Structure 1
Amino acid sequence: MKLPTIDTGYLVETLLKLLFTPSPSGYTDRVVHLVCQRLEQLGVPFELTRRGAIRATLEGKVSQPDRAVVAHIDTLGAMVKALKDNGRLQLVPVGHWNARFAEGARATLFTDTGQWRGTILPLKASGHTFAPEIDNQPGGWDYVEFRIDARVHKLEDLLRLGVHVGDFLAIDTTPEITDTGFINSRHLDDKAGAAVLLAAIEAVRREGLELPVDCHPLFTISEEVGSGASAALHQDVAEMLTIDNGTSAPGQNSSEFGVTIAMADQSGPFDYHLTHRLIQLCQEFAIPHQRDVFKYYRSDSAAALEAGNDVRTALITFGVDASHGYERIHLDALESLARLVAVYMQGPPLFSRDRLGIGPLTGFPIQPG
């Protein structure tokens, strides 16, 4: 195995293209086309599910027991709940995020016939009008509304624009990369993970690295609403590595630097052997890393297992500050993750026995103790 050089310029450019492509869960076609174009440029074959989840293939020396590496390209967003008499729009969230992070956000409304720009505002937004009431009003999605940048003052104006209940809103990401390497943006969860996966693929292809078994990069489109990798995974996959965000918050061990390896989330522990293989690779190749456990978190791995897939799963993350809000990461974590993914792709399968769906005791591992 070889530790490849990650093209940081490619990683950052890919991340920015992803961030500037709207993709709230349920409205992901544009970002699917973008990722497919990137795979075509790298000469990587792929296929799509009916709804647009992407399953690519990097061929190895043998086809089984093959592995998958997954990131999701859908994001949080909002949807029109009702058209209001004052010409504003009532909203509901797409995915789980707090309305306090939506207040003041610029967004694009997608209708059946076009799109409109606007701003999500609290119901009492003017300090000159409401004075202390702006600080005392309740929080939550029932207390915000969308103001369209058009001449709309009543319900009939909204109907004239072609606005309907169920129209999608994509929240502006407003990314900024500082000279110190910090990346601030909405939706780094999990567009940063998708950029990491594409950068690892680019490194493997550019350096002509040989893989021992087939590896399937997966890009899912419904992780934020729970289903994630449940449909994109084929039964022949024995190992699945998920790339997503960690939570660098008080009480957590995640970091904005290096790789954060998740030992468990709210769905339970990750596969012992696969998780410890990743720890071993970090140690062997001097990739900075730490371990963490997430209490209020689930990922594509949980969706795959709950769908009935008998697959070993693990989760590696980039530490995100203010997850599901206005997020921040550091480029160091993304580079570290890309190196780990590229090395993992080159490694042998955990156990040759895993090529069998069900088999004998022979070859089955045992944990130390």
Structure 2
Amino acid sequence: MKYLEDYTIRKILELVNIPSPSGFTEKIIEFVANQLREMGFEPRKTRKGALVVELGGSGNPLVLAVHVDTLGAMVKSLKSNGRLEITNVGGFTMNSIENENCTIHTKSGKNYTGTIQSLAPSVHVFDNARTLERKMSNMEIRVDEEVSCRSDLEKLGIEAGDFISFDPRAVVTDSGFIKTRHLDDKASAAILMSLARKVSTGELECGRKVYLFFSNYEEVGHGASAAMPEDSEEIISVDMGAVGDTLNTDEYVVSICAKDSGGPYDGETVKKLIDAAKRAGADYRVDIYPFYGSDVEASLRAGYDVRFGLLGPGVEASHGYERTHYKAIDNTLKLLQEYIKK
């Protein structure tokens, strides 16, 4: 399949298959760090576990920020029937994870698989199978082990506070669609890795000082609130464009956000991103996302005095089983390549 030959698509698939709910990101941060080291860069980890790398260039320091943490869950308690009560990590609807396969990551390092389901999972047994409200207290995990009580779970080493990751179910179609959980924000993380690769091979030069920042707590609101390079003058959050309703963005374009739940983005920066898209021949849309927040908002609330913007590939069904297209990935990369030249 031709799309699997593309570096960025391959990296998306690698990233989404590394479990990394917020708070459980050490493995994926180390993966990204090793990839950057192989390119000849010198990434450094922050005390909070994020990753920073300088690509090169001089003057007008720019930070491109993505996040590698994802939605997920944690074990809240062990139930008397051998099932697990869960608590969410990040914001998602319960119906979006119902019947999803998952992995329980114990603190000892042993992993167990399971399935997230409602308390009334069968229409042949429960008269409220269709009507039971899908909320956290009505969901549980069926563990793929011979367990029937709390003590059976304890013998496996499962306990409260163990992280739970969702099966990404990654698929790339012959028509160029990428269907998987966690395109938010691993699609953009792969795009930045591709950008770094182009700089490392000399295919692309930084016309200004450029940093990449891989945050690890975005889904819970404070990913890029600390450890930004001290000389930062501009921070662009490279996340995703939401698709649906009356929005202009679709799965084939790079989306430039003018305003979200935190308010307007810097007007001059938005104009510069639009100009860069036009120069690069990147298909783009400008949109407003009223129920959206980004890493750059966390930076602003932490007190960083910077210009700020947000862009990313269009992603349909965000925070669910997400889908984008190769064209959106390519358009986002084109815009970023043009933007760092100036």
CA shift for structure 1 position 295: 0.2
Q: Is the 8 A contact 1:220 1:232 kept in 2?
A: no
Q: 1:211 to 1:265 in 2, by over 3 A?
A: same
Name 1:105's counterpart in structure 2. 100
**Among 80, 84, 92, which residue is 1:85 paired with?**
80
SS of residue in 1 equivalent to 2:256 = strand
- Residue 270 of structure 1 pairs with residue 269 of structure 2: no
Residue identity matched to 2:335: L
Name 1:230's counterpart in structure 2. 225
SS of residue in 1 equivalent to 2:151 = helix
- Residue 159 of structure 1 pairs with residue 154 of structure 2: yes
Deviation readout 1:182-238 (Å, 9 max, x if unpaired): 111111100001011111221222234332322001100000000011113123100
**Among 39, 44, 59, which residue is 1:47 paired with?**
44
Identity among equivalent pairs (%): 37
CA shift for structure 1 position 112: 1.9
**1:3-152 matches, cutoff 5 A:** 9-60=6-57, 62=58, 64-113=59-108, 114-130=110-126, 132-152=127-147
Name 2:166's counterpart in structure 1. 171
Residue identity matched to 2:85: Q
Deviation readout 1:248-303 (Å, 9 max, x if unpaired): 11121211112111001110111111111110111122111110001000001100
Name 2:236's counterpart in structure 1. 241
- Residue 184 of structure 1 pairs with residue 164 of structure 2: no
CA distance in 1, matches of 2:214, 2:112: 28
Q: 1:302 to 1:116 in 2, by over 3 A?
A: same
CA shift for structure 1 position 31: 0.2
Residue identity matched to 1:108: T
User: TM-score, length-normalised on structure 1?
Assistant: 0.89
CA distance in 1, matches of 2:192, 2:83: 40
Unaligned runs of 5+ in 1: 1-5, 348-369
SS of residue in 2 equivalent to 1:337 = helix
Deviation readout 1:30-74 (Å, 9 max, x if unpaired): 1001100110121122111012211100121x3x32111111000
Unaligned runs of 5+ in 2: none
CA distance in 2, matches of 1:265, 1:199: 27
SS of residue in 2 equivalent to 1:153 = coil
Name 1:298's counterpart in structure 2. 293
Q: Which runs of 4+ in 1 moved over 6 A?
A: none
SS of residue in 2 equivalent to 1:146 = strand
**1:283-294 matches, cutoff 5 A:** 283-294=278-289
CA distance in 2, matches of 1:279, 1:138: 44
Name 1:216's counterpart in structure 2. 211
SS of residue in 2 equivalent to 1:263 = strand
Residue identity matched to 1:29: E
SS of residue in 2 equivalent to 1:229 = coil
CA shift for structure 1 position 8: 6.3
SS of residue in 2 equivalent to 1:169 = strand
Q: Is the 8 A contact 2:12 2:187 kept in 1?
A: yes
User: TM-score, length-normalised on structure 2?
Assistant: 0.96
Name 1:360's counterpart in structure 2. none
CA distance in 2, matches of 1:258, 1:111: 40
Q: 1:290 to 1:234 in 2, by over 3 A?
A: same
Question: How many pairs does the alignment contain?
Answer: 339
CA shift for structure 1 position 7: 10
Residue identity matched to 1:30: K
Q: Is the 8 A contact 1:215 1:345 kept in 2?
A: yes
Residue identity matched to 2:282: I
